[in-house]
Structure 1
Amino acid sequence: MKINKIYGLFIGLMVLMVSSCDPIVDEEYLENTTDIAGVELVATQSTPGGNKITLEMATPGITGYWDYNLGKALTDKFEFIYPIPGKATFTYVGTLGAEFFEKTIDVQIDQLDNALDQDWYDLVGEDTAAGKTWVFNGTGGDERLWWYMSPPDNWAGVWWNAGGTCCPPFDQAGKMKFDLDGAANFTYQSGPDADQVKSSFVLDVGNQMLQINGGNILGAVECGTNASAKYQIISLTEDELILFIPNGTCGSGWTWIFKPE
Protein backbone atom coordinates (compact mmCIF):
# COMPACT_ATOMS: atom_id res chain seq x y z
CA MET A 1 0.00 0.00 0.00
CA LYS A 2 2.79 2.34 0.88
CA ILE A 3 4.53 1.51 -2.42
CA ASN A 4 1.40 2.46 -4.35
CA LYS A 5 1.16 5.78 -2.50
CA ILE A 6 4.81 6.55 -3.15
CA TYR A 7 4.40 5.60 -6.82
CA GLY A 8 1.31 7.80 -7.16
CA LEU A 9 3.11 10.72 -5.51
CA PHE A 10 6.06 10.29 -7.88
CA ILE A 11 3.80 10.33 -10.95
CA GLY A 12 2.05 13.43 -9.64
CA LEU A 13 5.32 15.24 -9.13
CA MET A 14 6.47 14.32 -12.65
CA VAL A 15 3.26 15.66 -14.20
CA LEU A 16 3.60 18.86 -12.19
CA MET A 17 7.22 19.32 -13.31
CA VAL A 18 6.42 18.74 -16.98
CA SER A 19 3.43 21.07 -16.93
CA SER A 20 5.45 23.78 -15.18
CA CYS A 21 8.02 23.68 -18.02
CA ASP A 22 5.46 24.36 -20.72
CA PRO A 23 5.53 28.10 -21.55
CA ILE A 24 2.30 30.04 -21.50
CA VAL A 25 2.15 31.71 -24.92
CA ASP A 26 -0.48 34.14 -26.02
CA GLU A 27 0.01 33.75 -29.74
CA GLU A 28 -1.12 36.51 -32.08
CA TYR A 29 -1.09 36.17 -35.84
CA LEU A 30 -1.13 38.99 -38.37
CA GLU A 31 -3.90 38.60 -40.88
CA ASN A 32 -4.54 40.27 -44.21
CA THR A 33 -7.51 42.61 -44.25
CA THR A 34 -7.89 42.15 -48.02
CA ASP A 35 -5.93 40.95 -51.04
CA ILE A 36 -4.07 43.02 -53.62
CA ALA A 37 -7.09 43.03 -55.92
CA GLY A 38 -9.11 44.59 -53.11
CA VAL A 39 -6.77 47.58 -52.78
CA GLU A 40 -8.35 50.54 -54.59
CA LEU A 41 -6.02 53.14 -56.09
CA VAL A 42 -7.51 56.35 -57.48
CA ALA A 43 -5.80 59.01 -59.62
CA THR A 44 -7.53 62.32 -60.29
CA GLN A 45 -6.32 65.11 -62.59
CA SER A 46 -7.45 68.68 -61.96
CA THR A 47 -8.09 69.04 -65.70
CA PRO A 48 -8.46 66.34 -68.39
CA GLY A 49 -4.94 65.25 -69.31
CA GLY A 50 -3.43 67.88 -67.01
CA ASN A 51 -0.32 67.54 -64.87
CA LYS A 52 -1.79 68.41 -61.47
CA ILE A 53 -2.52 64.98 -60.02
CA THR A 54 -4.02 63.61 -56.82
CA LEU A 55 -3.15 60.02 -55.91
CA GLU A 56 -5.24 58.22 -53.29
CA MET A 57 -5.25 54.75 -51.75
CA ALA A 58 -8.93 54.43 -50.84
CA THR A 59 -9.09 51.06 -49.04
CA PRO A 60 -9.52 51.20 -45.21
CA GLY A 61 -7.03 49.27 -43.09
CA ILE A 62 -4.13 49.51 -45.53
CA THR A 63 -0.99 51.48 -44.70
CA GLY A 64 1.93 52.44 -46.91
CA TYR A 65 3.31 55.19 -49.13
CA TRP A 66 3.27 56.49 -52.70
CA ASP A 67 6.31 56.28 -54.97
CA TYR A 68 5.51 58.98 -57.53
CA ASN A 69 8.82 58.67 -59.44
CA LEU A 70 10.09 62.05 -58.26
CA GLY A 71 10.15 60.94 -54.62
CA LYS A 72 8.07 59.21 -51.95
CA ALA A 73 4.97 60.55 -50.19
CA LEU A 74 4.38 58.96 -46.78
CA THR A 75 0.63 59.31 -46.96
CA ASP A 76 -2.42 57.64 -48.53
CA LYS A 77 -3.46 60.79 -50.41
CA PHE A 78 -1.03 63.09 -52.18
CA GLU A 79 -1.37 66.01 -54.61
CA PHE A 80 1.50 67.18 -56.81
CA ILE A 81 2.41 68.72 -60.16
CA TYR A 82 4.09 66.22 -62.50
CA PRO A 83 6.64 67.62 -64.95
CA ILE A 84 6.70 64.88 -67.59
CA PRO A 85 4.10 64.47 -70.35
CA GLY A 86 3.06 61.01 -71.51
CA LYS A 87 1.94 57.91 -69.61
CA ALA A 88 3.19 57.84 -66.03
CA THR A 89 3.05 54.82 -63.73
CA PHE A 90 2.81 55.49 -59.99
CA THR A 91 3.29 52.83 -57.30
CA TYR A 92 1.69 52.34 -53.90
CA VAL A 93 3.83 50.27 -51.52
CA GLY A 94 2.08 49.01 -48.40
CA THR A 95 1.04 46.14 -46.18
CA LEU A 96 -2.14 44.07 -46.31
CA GLY A 97 -1.62 43.15 -42.66
CA ALA A 98 0.41 39.97 -42.93
CA GLU A 99 2.36 40.71 -46.12
CA PHE A 100 3.77 43.60 -48.08
CA PHE A 101 2.61 44.46 -51.59
CA GLU A 102 3.07 46.88 -54.47
CA LYS A 103 0.33 48.05 -56.81
CA THR A 104 0.52 50.53 -59.68
CA ILE A 105 -1.79 52.95 -61.43
CA ASP A 106 -1.24 54.65 -64.81
CA VAL A 107 -1.99 58.29 -65.57
CA GLN A 108 -1.87 59.91 -69.02
CA ILE A 109 -0.51 63.47 -68.99
CA ASP A 110 -1.19 65.31 -72.24
CA GLN A 111 -0.44 68.87 -71.20
CA LEU A 112 1.70 70.72 -68.69
CA ASP A 113 -1.09 73.15 -67.83
CA ASN A 114 0.28 73.84 -64.36
CA ALA A 115 3.64 75.57 -64.13
CA LEU A 116 6.53 73.57 -62.71
CA ASP A 117 8.84 74.70 -59.96
CA GLN A 118 11.43 77.08 -61.43
CA ASP A 119 14.21 74.58 -60.74
CA TRP A 120 12.83 72.34 -63.48
CA TYR A 121 13.00 75.13 -66.08
CA ASP A 122 16.48 76.12 -64.91
CA LEU A 123 17.71 72.54 -65.30
CA VAL A 124 16.00 71.43 -68.52
CA GLY A 125 15.11 74.75 -70.18
CA GLU A 126 11.78 76.36 -70.99
CA ASP A 127 11.21 73.82 -73.76
CA THR A 128 11.23 70.84 -71.44
CA ALA A 129 11.00 68.25 -74.22
CA ALA A 130 13.97 69.72 -76.13
CA GLY A 131 16.03 69.88 -72.95
CA LYS A 132 19.15 71.75 -71.97
CA THR A 133 22.85 70.88 -72.24
CA TRP A 134 25.41 71.65 -69.53
CA VAL A 135 29.24 71.72 -69.70
CA PHE A 136 32.04 72.44 -67.24
CA ASN A 137 32.52 76.12 -66.45
CA GLY A 138 36.23 75.99 -67.20
CA THR A 139 39.05 74.14 -68.96
CA GLY A 140 42.10 72.31 -67.71
CA GLY A 141 44.86 74.58 -66.40
CA ASP A 142 42.85 77.81 -66.44
CA GLU A 143 43.38 78.28 -62.67
CA ARG A 144 39.61 78.71 -62.21
CA LEU A 145 37.40 76.72 -59.87
CA TRP A 146 35.08 74.24 -61.60
CA TRP A 147 36.13 70.74 -60.45
CA TYR A 148 37.89 70.59 -57.11
CA MET A 149 38.39 68.87 -53.77
CA SER A 150 36.48 70.44 -50.88
CA PRO A 151 36.19 70.00 -47.13
CA PRO A 152 33.35 67.57 -46.30
CA ASP A 153 31.32 70.38 -44.75
CA ASN A 154 32.15 73.29 -47.08
CA TRP A 155 31.56 73.10 -50.83
CA ALA A 156 33.26 76.48 -51.38
CA GLY A 157 36.45 75.55 -49.54
CA VAL A 158 39.30 74.39 -51.77
CA TRP A 159 41.71 71.69 -50.69
CA TRP A 160 42.91 70.92 -54.23
CA ASN A 161 41.95 72.72 -57.44
CA ALA A 162 42.37 69.65 -59.63
CA GLY A 163 40.47 70.88 -62.70
CA GLY A 164 41.98 74.35 -62.85
CA THR A 165 45.56 73.23 -62.34
CA CYS A 166 47.21 69.94 -63.13
CA CYS A 167 44.61 67.24 -63.30
CA PRO A 168 41.28 67.84 -65.05
CA PRO A 169 38.97 64.84 -65.60
CA PHE A 170 39.22 62.91 -68.87
CA ASP A 171 35.74 64.14 -69.85
CA GLN A 172 36.47 67.85 -69.27
CA ALA A 173 35.29 68.66 -72.81
CA GLY A 174 32.16 66.55 -72.50
CA LYS A 175 28.53 67.53 -72.11
CA MET A 176 25.38 66.35 -70.38
CA LYS A 177 21.79 66.97 -71.33
CA PHE A 178 18.61 66.94 -69.23
CA ASP A 179 15.18 66.75 -70.89
CA LEU A 180 11.60 65.70 -70.16
CA ASP A 181 10.72 64.18 -73.53
CA GLY A 182 8.39 61.41 -72.33
CA ALA A 183 10.57 60.75 -69.28
CA ALA A 184 13.24 62.41 -67.15
CA ASN A 185 16.09 61.71 -69.58
CA PHE A 186 19.81 62.20 -68.93
CA THR A 187 22.34 62.00 -71.78
CA TYR A 188 26.09 61.92 -71.14
CA GLN A 189 28.89 62.43 -73.67
CA SER A 190 32.53 62.24 -72.56
CA GLY A 191 33.56 64.48 -75.47
CA PRO A 192 32.11 66.37 -78.44
CA ASP A 193 32.34 63.34 -80.77
CA ALA A 194 31.80 60.60 -78.19
CA ASP A 195 28.83 58.25 -78.15
CA GLN A 196 25.79 59.34 -76.21
CA VAL A 197 25.05 57.36 -73.05
CA LYS A 198 21.41 57.65 -72.05
CA SER A 199 19.92 57.10 -68.59
CA SER A 200 17.50 58.99 -66.35
CA PHE A 201 17.48 61.45 -63.48
CA VAL A 202 15.42 62.55 -60.47
CA LEU A 203 15.27 66.18 -59.40
CA ASP A 204 14.22 66.42 -55.76
CA VAL A 205 13.30 70.09 -55.49
CA GLY A 206 12.29 69.95 -51.83
CA ASN A 207 15.57 68.43 -50.64
CA GLN A 208 17.72 70.07 -53.34
CA MET A 209 19.15 66.80 -54.56
CA LEU A 210 19.93 65.53 -58.06
CA GLN A 211 20.11 61.79 -58.65
CA ILE A 212 21.30 60.06 -61.83
CA ASN A 213 19.85 56.59 -62.38
CA GLY A 214 21.99 54.20 -64.38
CA GLY A 215 24.62 56.79 -65.28
CA ASN A 216 26.72 59.59 -63.89
CA ILE A 217 27.62 63.22 -64.45
CA LEU A 218 30.75 64.70 -65.99
CA GLY A 219 33.76 64.39 -63.73
CA ALA A 220 32.42 61.51 -61.63
CA VAL A 221 35.88 59.94 -61.65
CA GLU A 222 38.94 59.67 -59.44
CA CYS A 223 38.35 61.64 -56.22
CA GLY A 224 34.98 62.73 -57.56
CA THR A 225 33.71 59.17 -57.93
CA ASN A 226 30.23 58.92 -56.44
CA ALA A 227 28.76 55.42 -56.23
CA SER A 228 25.37 56.68 -55.08
CA ALA A 229 25.07 59.12 -58.04
CA LYS A 230 23.25 61.51 -55.69
CA TYR A 231 24.42 65.12 -55.59
CA GLN A 232 23.58 68.01 -53.32
CA ILE A 233 22.45 71.04 -55.33
CA ILE A 234 24.30 74.11 -54.10
CA SER A 235 23.06 76.41 -56.87
CA LEU A 236 20.62 75.92 -59.73
CA THR A 237 19.81 78.95 -61.85
CA GLU A 238 19.34 79.59 -65.54
CA ASP A 239 23.09 80.17 -65.89
CA GLU A 240 24.72 78.01 -63.21
CA LEU A 241 24.63 74.51 -61.74
CA ILE A 242 26.82 73.73 -58.71
CA LEU A 243 26.83 70.20 -57.31
CA PHE A 244 28.58 68.85 -54.23
CA ILE A 245 29.22 65.59 -52.39
CA PRO A 246 30.66 65.54 -48.85
CA ASN A 247 32.24 62.10 -49.14
CA GLY A 248 34.28 61.56 -52.28
CA THR A 249 36.55 58.54 -52.59
CA CYS A 250 39.62 60.50 -51.43
CA GLY A 251 38.12 61.10 -48.00
CA SER A 252 36.98 64.62 -48.82
CA GLY A 253 34.15 66.55 -50.38
CA TRP A 254 34.05 67.33 -54.11
CA THR A 255 32.52 70.23 -56.03
CA TRP A 256 31.36 70.58 -59.65
CA ILE A 257 30.50 73.88 -61.37
CA PHE A 258 28.67 73.78 -64.73
CA LYS A 259 27.27 76.31 -67.18
CA PRO A 260 24.83 75.97 -70.11
CA GLU A 261 26.51 74.96 -73.37
Structure 2
Amino acid sequence: MKIHNIKYLLIAAFMLVFSACDPIVDEQQLTNSTDVAGVNLTASHSTPGGNKVTLKMDTPGVTGYWDYNLGKSLTNETTIVYPIPGKSTFTFIGTLGGEFFTKTIDVQIDQLDTRLDQDWYDLVSENTSAGKTWVFDGAAGTGAMFWFMSPPDNPDSAMSAWWNAGDCCPPLDVSGKMHFDLNGAANYNHYQTTAAAAEKGSFVLDPTNKKLIIQNSKILGYEAGNTANEYNIITLTEDKLVLYVPRSLKDPTTGWTFVFKPQ
Protein backbone atom coordinates (compact mmCIF):
# COMPACT_ATOMS: atom_id res chain seq x y z
CA MET A 1 0.00 0.00 0.00
CA LYS A 2 2.82 2.39 0.86
CA ILE A 3 4.48 1.66 -2.50
CA HIS A 4 1.25 2.56 -4.31
CA ASN A 5 0.95 5.79 -2.32
CA ILE A 6 4.50 6.77 -3.17
CA LYS A 7 3.85 6.02 -6.86
CA TYR A 8 0.77 8.29 -6.93
CA LEU A 9 2.67 11.06 -5.16
CA LEU A 10 5.46 10.86 -7.72
CA ILE A 11 2.94 11.04 -10.60
CA ALA A 12 1.26 14.07 -9.02
CA ALA A 13 4.63 15.77 -8.53
CA PHE A 14 5.58 15.22 -12.17
CA MET A 15 2.25 16.64 -13.30
CA LEU A 16 2.79 19.75 -11.23
CA VAL A 17 6.28 20.24 -12.64
CA PHE A 18 5.18 19.91 -16.26
CA SER A 19 2.11 22.07 -15.80
CA ALA A 20 4.32 24.76 -14.27
CA CYS A 21 6.40 24.77 -17.48
CA ASP A 22 3.42 25.48 -19.74
CA PRO A 23 3.58 29.02 -21.14
CA ILE A 24 1.00 31.51 -20.02
CA VAL A 25 -0.79 32.79 -23.11
CA ASP A 26 -2.79 35.99 -22.95
CA GLU A 27 -5.30 35.40 -25.71
CA GLN A 28 -6.72 38.65 -27.00
CA GLN A 29 -9.20 38.55 -29.84
CA LEU A 30 -9.65 41.49 -32.18
CA THR A 31 -13.12 42.96 -32.05
CA ASN A 32 -14.98 45.22 -34.44
CA SER A 33 -15.27 48.88 -33.56
CA THR A 34 -18.43 49.15 -35.70
CA ASP A 35 -20.24 47.31 -38.48
CA VAL A 36 -20.20 47.93 -42.22
CA ALA A 37 -23.40 49.97 -41.99
CA GLY A 38 -21.63 52.26 -39.52
CA VAL A 39 -18.77 53.08 -41.92
CA ASN A 40 -19.35 56.55 -43.36
CA LEU A 41 -18.09 57.26 -46.88
CA THR A 42 -18.41 60.71 -48.44
CA ALA A 43 -17.53 62.29 -51.77
CA SER A 44 -17.27 66.02 -52.38
CA HIS A 45 -16.67 67.90 -55.63
CA SER A 46 -14.41 70.93 -55.91
CA THR A 47 -17.12 72.39 -58.17
CA PRO A 48 -20.71 71.16 -58.63
CA GLY A 49 -20.58 68.00 -60.75
CA GLY A 50 -16.90 68.53 -61.45
CA ASN A 51 -14.29 65.80 -61.90
CA LYS A 52 -12.02 66.82 -59.03
CA VAL A 53 -13.37 64.71 -56.19
CA THR A 54 -12.36 64.16 -52.57
CA LEU A 55 -13.18 60.68 -51.26
CA LYS A 56 -13.27 60.29 -47.50
CA MET A 57 -13.87 57.55 -44.94
CA ASP A 58 -14.34 59.36 -41.62
CA THR A 59 -15.42 56.65 -39.15
CA PRO A 60 -13.10 56.44 -36.09
CA GLY A 61 -11.37 53.11 -35.54
CA VAL A 62 -11.61 52.07 -39.19
CA THR A 63 -8.61 52.03 -41.54
CA GLY A 64 -8.13 51.02 -45.15
CA TYR A 65 -7.61 52.34 -48.66
CA TRP A 66 -9.52 53.58 -51.73
CA ASP A 67 -9.80 51.80 -55.06
CA TYR A 68 -10.98 54.39 -57.58
CA ASN A 69 -10.94 52.01 -60.59
CA LEU A 70 -7.95 53.61 -62.30
CA GLY A 71 -5.67 53.26 -59.29
CA LYS A 72 -5.48 52.94 -55.51
CA SER A 73 -4.84 55.43 -52.72
CA LEU A 74 -3.50 53.91 -49.49
CA THR A 75 -5.24 56.33 -47.17
CA ASN A 76 -8.66 57.08 -45.68
CA GLU A 77 -8.94 60.33 -47.63
CA THR A 78 -7.79 61.14 -51.15
CA THR A 79 -8.42 63.75 -53.82
CA ILE A 80 -8.48 62.61 -57.44
CA VAL A 81 -9.02 64.19 -60.83
CA TYR A 82 -11.23 61.60 -62.48
CA PRO A 83 -11.21 61.43 -66.29
CA ILE A 84 -14.57 59.74 -66.93
CA PRO A 85 -17.93 61.56 -66.92
CA GLY A 86 -21.10 59.85 -65.74
CA LYS A 87 -21.77 57.76 -62.65
CA SER A 88 -18.76 55.95 -61.23
CA THR A 89 -18.53 53.59 -58.27
CA PHE A 90 -15.53 53.87 -55.93
CA THR A 91 -14.64 51.24 -53.34
CA PHE A 92 -13.18 51.50 -49.85
CA ILE A 93 -11.42 48.36 -48.59
CA GLY A 94 -10.67 48.34 -44.87
CA THR A 95 -10.81 46.64 -41.51
CA LEU A 96 -13.42 47.09 -38.80
CA GLY A 97 -10.89 45.84 -36.24
CA GLY A 98 -11.80 42.17 -36.25
CA GLU A 99 -12.68 41.64 -39.91
CA PHE A 100 -12.10 43.07 -43.37
CA PHE A 101 -14.83 44.65 -45.47
CA THR A 102 -15.54 46.54 -48.68
CA LYS A 103 -18.03 49.33 -49.17
CA THR A 104 -18.81 51.44 -52.22
CA ILE A 105 -20.00 54.93 -52.99
CA ASP A 106 -21.45 56.22 -56.28
CA VAL A 107 -20.28 59.56 -57.63
CA GLN A 108 -21.86 61.45 -60.51
CA ILE A 109 -19.46 63.50 -62.65
CA ASP A 110 -21.14 65.87 -65.09
CA GLN A 111 -18.20 67.85 -66.42
CA LEU A 112 -14.44 67.51 -66.87
CA ASP A 113 -13.72 71.02 -65.64
CA THR A 114 -10.32 70.14 -64.12
CA ARG A 115 -7.77 69.18 -66.75
CA LEU A 116 -6.25 65.74 -66.58
CA ASP A 117 -2.59 64.84 -66.68
CA GLN A 118 -1.38 65.46 -70.25
CA ASP A 119 -0.72 61.73 -70.71
CA TRP A 120 -4.47 61.11 -70.80
CA TYR A 121 -4.98 63.51 -73.71
CA ASP A 122 -1.94 62.17 -75.55
CA LEU A 123 -3.28 58.61 -75.24
CA VAL A 124 -7.01 59.16 -75.91
CA SER A 125 -7.04 62.65 -77.53
CA GLU A 126 -8.66 65.84 -76.29
CA ASN A 127 -12.01 64.31 -77.26
CA THR A 128 -11.81 61.73 -74.49
CA SER A 129 -15.19 60.14 -75.28
CA ALA A 130 -14.36 59.56 -78.94
CA GLY A 131 -10.89 58.33 -78.09
CA LYS A 132 -7.92 57.53 -80.27
CA THR A 133 -6.64 54.65 -82.41
CA TRP A 134 -3.00 53.53 -82.52
CA VAL A 135 -1.16 51.33 -85.04
CA PHE A 136 2.43 50.14 -85.44
CA ASP A 137 4.85 52.85 -86.53
CA GLY A 138 6.33 50.92 -89.44
CA ALA A 139 5.94 47.93 -91.72
CA ALA A 140 7.85 44.70 -92.30
CA GLY A 141 10.65 44.81 -94.87
CA THR A 142 11.23 48.56 -94.56
CA GLY A 143 13.88 48.50 -91.85
CA ALA A 144 11.57 50.39 -89.49
CA MET A 145 12.01 49.59 -85.80
CA PHE A 146 8.49 49.20 -84.47
CA TRP A 147 8.59 45.77 -82.69
CA PHE A 148 11.97 44.59 -81.48
CA MET A 149 13.92 42.67 -78.87
CA SER A 150 15.70 44.87 -76.34
CA PRO A 151 17.76 44.45 -73.12
CA PRO A 152 15.88 42.95 -70.15
CA ASP A 153 14.97 44.70 -66.89
CA ASN A 154 16.10 48.15 -68.00
CA PRO A 155 13.59 50.68 -69.38
CA ASP A 156 16.46 53.09 -70.02
CA SER A 157 17.72 50.66 -72.69
CA ALA A 158 14.34 50.17 -74.33
CA MET A 159 15.48 51.73 -77.61
CA SER A 160 18.62 49.56 -77.84
CA ALA A 161 17.52 46.91 -80.32
CA TRP A 162 19.01 43.43 -79.99
CA TRP A 163 16.94 42.06 -82.88
CA ASN A 164 14.61 44.00 -85.16
CA ALA A 165 11.99 41.24 -85.27
CA GLY A 166 9.30 43.38 -86.87
CA ASP A 167 11.34 43.84 -90.04
CA CYS A 168 11.69 40.16 -90.88
CA CYS A 169 9.16 38.38 -88.65
CA PRO A 170 6.33 40.76 -87.77
CA PRO A 171 3.67 39.94 -85.16
CA LEU A 172 0.43 38.19 -86.09
CA ASP A 173 -1.52 41.44 -85.67
CA VAL A 174 0.95 43.65 -87.53
CA SER A 175 -1.91 45.09 -89.61
CA GLY A 176 -4.18 45.51 -86.58
CA LYS A 177 -4.95 48.45 -84.33
CA MET A 178 -5.88 49.37 -80.76
CA HIS A 179 -8.34 51.98 -79.57
CA PHE A 180 -8.53 53.85 -76.23
CA ASP A 181 -11.43 56.01 -75.05
CA LEU A 182 -13.09 57.28 -71.86
CA ASN A 183 -16.70 56.99 -72.97
CA GLY A 184 -18.29 56.02 -69.64
CA ALA A 185 -15.30 53.87 -68.67
CA ALA A 186 -11.64 53.35 -69.56
CA ASN A 187 -12.42 51.37 -72.71
CA TYR A 188 -9.84 49.47 -74.76
CA ASN A 189 -10.32 47.53 -78.00
CA HIS A 190 -7.78 45.30 -79.76
CA TYR A 191 -8.26 44.52 -83.45
CA GLN A 192 -6.28 41.63 -84.98
CA THR A 193 -6.60 43.37 -88.36
CA THR A 194 -8.15 46.69 -89.30
CA ALA A 195 -11.26 44.83 -90.47
CA ALA A 196 -11.50 42.37 -87.55
CA ALA A 197 -14.05 42.53 -84.74
CA ALA A 198 -12.91 44.21 -81.54
CA GLU A 199 -11.65 42.24 -78.56
CA LYS A 200 -13.06 44.51 -75.89
CA GLY A 201 -11.33 45.19 -72.59
CA SER A 202 -10.28 48.09 -70.41
CA PHE A 203 -7.09 49.87 -69.44
CA VAL A 204 -5.37 51.56 -66.53
CA LEU A 205 -3.09 54.52 -67.20
CA ASP A 206 -0.70 55.40 -64.38
CA PRO A 207 1.01 58.69 -65.36
CA THR A 208 2.93 58.91 -62.08
CA ASN A 209 4.67 55.55 -62.44
CA LYS A 210 4.63 55.58 -66.26
CA LYS A 211 2.65 52.37 -66.60
CA LEU A 212 -0.05 51.18 -68.97
CA ILE A 213 -2.06 48.07 -68.04
CA ILE A 214 -4.40 46.29 -70.44
CA GLN A 215 -7.24 44.30 -68.87
CA ASN A 216 -9.33 41.49 -70.44
CA SER A 217 -7.78 42.04 -73.87
CA LYS A 218 -4.27 42.20 -75.35
CA ILE A 219 -1.73 44.71 -76.57
CA LEU A 220 -0.95 45.16 -80.26
CA GLY A 221 2.02 42.83 -80.74
CA TYR A 222 0.84 40.60 -77.88
CA GLU A 223 3.15 37.69 -78.79
CA ALA A 224 5.99 39.60 -77.16
CA GLY A 225 4.00 41.07 -74.27
CA ASN A 226 3.85 39.69 -70.74
CA THR A 227 1.32 37.71 -68.73
CA ALA A 228 0.46 40.69 -66.51
CA ASN A 229 -0.27 42.86 -69.59
CA GLU A 230 1.65 45.65 -67.83
CA TYR A 231 3.90 47.92 -69.86
CA ASN A 232 6.44 50.63 -69.08
CA ILE A 233 5.69 53.88 -70.90
CA ILE A 234 8.94 55.07 -72.49
CA THR A 235 7.41 57.77 -74.68
CA LEU A 236 3.87 59.14 -74.77
CA THR A 237 3.21 62.21 -76.88
CA GLU A 238 0.40 63.25 -79.18
CA ASP A 239 2.00 61.43 -82.11
CA LYS A 240 4.11 58.64 -80.56
CA LEU A 241 3.69 55.84 -78.03
CA VAL A 242 6.59 53.60 -77.02
CA LEU A 243 5.99 50.72 -74.59
CA TYR A 244 8.46 48.27 -73.05
CA VAL A 245 8.31 44.97 -71.17
CA PRO A 246 11.29 43.95 -68.98
CA ARG A 247 10.74 40.24 -69.71
CA SER A 248 9.00 39.20 -72.91
CA LEU A 249 6.81 36.20 -73.65
CA LYS A 250 8.71 35.94 -76.94
CA ASP A 251 11.94 35.27 -75.05
CA PRO A 252 11.86 35.46 -71.21
CA THR A 253 15.57 36.33 -71.12
CA THR A 254 15.03 39.60 -72.99
CA GLY A 255 12.95 42.72 -72.96
CA TRP A 256 10.77 43.93 -75.84
CA THR A 257 9.87 47.32 -77.26
CA PHE A 258 6.68 48.38 -79.09
CA VAL A 259 6.48 51.60 -81.13
CA PHE A 260 3.10 53.02 -82.19
CA LYS A 261 1.66 56.04 -84.00
CA PRO A 262 -1.90 57.39 -84.26
CA GLN A 263 -3.92 56.02 -87.12
Bin the TM-score by the shorter chain.
Answer: over 0.9
Per-residue CA deviations over 1:213-252 (Å, capped at 9, x if unaligned) read 101111011xx13110110000000010000001002020
Q: In structure 2, what is the equivalent of residue 212 of structure 1?
A: 214
Distance 1:8 1:199, change over 3 A: closer
Q: In structure 1, what is the equivalent of residue 51 of structure 2?
A: 51
Which AA in structure 1 matches 2:204? V
Q: In structure 2, what is the equivalent of residue 180 of structure 1?
A: 182
Q: In structure 2, what is the equivalent of residue 170 of structure 1?
A: 172
Q: In structure 2, what is the equivalent of residue 159 of structure 1?
A: 162
Q: In structure 1, what is the equivalent of residue 60 of structure 2?
A: 60
Which AA in structure 1 matches 2:162? W
Q: Secondary structure at the match of 2:37?
A: helix
Per-residue CA deviations over 1:172-224 (Å, capped at 9, x if unaligned) read 11111100000000011111211111110010011010001101111011xx1
Q: Secondary structure at the match of 2:122?
A: helix
Displacement of 1:14 after TM fit? 4.2
Q: Within 5 Å, which residues of 2 pair with 1:1-261?
A: 6=6, 9-10=9-10, 12-152=12-152, 153=154, 154-164=157-167, 166-221=168-223, 224-249=224-249, 250=251, 251-261=253-263
Q: Secondary structure at the match of 1:163?
A: helix
Which AA in structure 1 matches 2:174? Q
2:208 and 2:70 mapped to 1: Cα distance? 10
1:207 and 1:227 mapped to 2: Cα distance? 19
Q: Which runs of 4+ in 1 moved over 6 A?
A: 1-5
Q: Secondary structure at the match of 2:20?
A: helix
Q: Secondary structure at the match of 1:122?
A: helix
Displacement of 1:70 after TM fit? 1.4
1:8 and 1:183 mapped to 2: Cα distance? 78
User: Percent identity, aligned pairs only?
Assistant: 59
Distance 1:16 1:149, change over 3 A: same
The alignment yields a C-alpha RMSD, in angstroms, of: 1.7
Gaps in structure 2 of 5+ consecutive residues:
none
TM-score normalised over the length of structure 2: 0.93
TM-score normalised over the length of structure 1: 0.94
Which AA in structure 2 matches 1:44? S
Aligned residues: 258
Gaps in structure 1 of 5+ consecutive residues:
none
Displacement of 1:20 after TM fit? 2.0
Displacement of 1:6 after TM fit? 4.0
Distance 1:17 1:40, change over 3 A: same
